[in-house]
């Protein structure tokens, strides 16, 4: 019975990590793509509006980082490493769009506006701590490396 319970727990954990990877990866992939599809409202134009320096260079750079790291998280490849640039990205986003607007929106208004950003921040921290999970390319490749060294 013990082995069955452990197998069930491991399966549930693998599924949970996969769901978080899909959630976080998809949001960043989608947002990165939209920076190029809608440059005036979500790309360079948005960066100009919120006062990000060198928006013509930074907005496309951030878009590429979000696309690349979003894909890496989705497939579970170098998951922990892929979270680091996105943690920087989301920290800048929270500061430049939420913390700065706190005086205008108040506490509850800011919490409302920041709900997605805070969810992404927590999802990234989770993935940084646990990695890609057992249903990831990280685990698949680690297993292959271990078999070669045995």
- Integer Cα distance of 15 and 134 in angstroms: 9
> Is 144 a residue whose pLDDT tops 80?
no
> Is 150 a residue whose pLDDT tops 60?
no
Lowest mean pLDDT among 38-52, 76-90, 98-112, 129-143: 98-112
Confidence band (pLDDT; 50, 70, 90) for 20? very high
Query: Per the structure, how many domains does the chain have?
Result: 1
Mean pLDDT in residue range 50-71: 97
Q: Which residues contact residue 124 at a Cβ distance below 8 angstroms, ignoring those fewer than 6 apart?
A: 24, 83, 86, 87, 90
The boundaries of the domain holding residue 10 are 2-149
Helices 2-37 & 102-130, crossing angle to 10 degrees? Answer: 130
> Is 30 a residue whose pLDDT tops 60?
yes
State CA 42 to chain mean position distance.
Answer: 17
Q: Which pTM value belongs to this model?
A: 0.88
Mean pLDDT in residue range 34-50: 97
Helical (H) or strand (E) element with 131: none
């Amino acid at each position: 019975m013990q082995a069955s319970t452990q197998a069930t727990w491991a399966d549930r954990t693998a599924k949970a990590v996969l769901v978080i990877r899909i959630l976080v990866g998809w949001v960043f992939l989608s947002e990165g793509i939209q920076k190029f599809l809608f440059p005036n409202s979500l790309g360079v134009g948005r960066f100009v509006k919120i006062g990000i320096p060198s928006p013509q260079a930074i907005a496309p750079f951030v878009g590429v980082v979000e696309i690349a790291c979003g894909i890496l998280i989705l497939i579970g490849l170098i998951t922990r490493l892929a979270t680091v640039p996105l943690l920087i990205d989301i920290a800048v986003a929270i500061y430049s769009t939420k913390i700065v607007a706190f005086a205008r929106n108040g506490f509850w208004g800011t919490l409302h506006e920041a709900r997605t950003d805070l969810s992404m921040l927590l999802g990234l921290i989770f993935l940084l701590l646990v990695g890609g999970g057992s249903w990831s390319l990280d685990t698949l490749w680690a297993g292959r490396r271990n078999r070669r060294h045995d």
